[in-house]
Structure 1
């Protein structure tokens, strides 16, 4: 499972989600979208960094990323 950390009123978060939904992946993934504004600890850690894509091993892909970087991150 992968998670995309986002927050409300974040144009970059919307752009990242659109990019991820349009990826041509070898296998489909489960993508959870996490609103960091509902969690104080996440706000402190990621407040200025979102959007951030996180994999099951807690590896992070921080914005800016393009489709190629996202695909490589997800399929690695």
Structure 2
């Protein structure tokens, strides 16, 4: 099982879309998803405040920043 993190913030409709995209994927293996609220960490808020949603792959810290579609997300998750 691969681990991923989703950087998000409160009242973020794009973040909701990103989670829905992830749930819509036809994955061979399940993924572990940690949701990180950047509003709770000043450093993350400064770095990612205008960029969320951002998926981060746990094994190599690679980032997939919005905008992305289901195909791009699938490719990112399966790498």
TM class, shorter-chain normalised?
Answer: over 0.9
Structure 1 stretches of 5 or more lacking a match? none
Let me know the Cα RMSD of the aligned residues.
0.6
Look up the SS of the partner of 1:21 in the other structure: helix
Structure 2: gaps spanning 5 or more residues: none
Q: What's the TM-score, normalizing by structure 2?
A: 0.93
Are 1:60 and 2:44 matched, yes or no? no
Distance (Å, rounded) in 2 between the aligned partners of 1:73 and 1:41: 25
Q: Distance between the aligned counterparts of 1:32 and 1:21, measured in 2?
A: 14
Greater percentage in strand: 2
Asked whether 1:71 is paired with 2:67, we answer: no
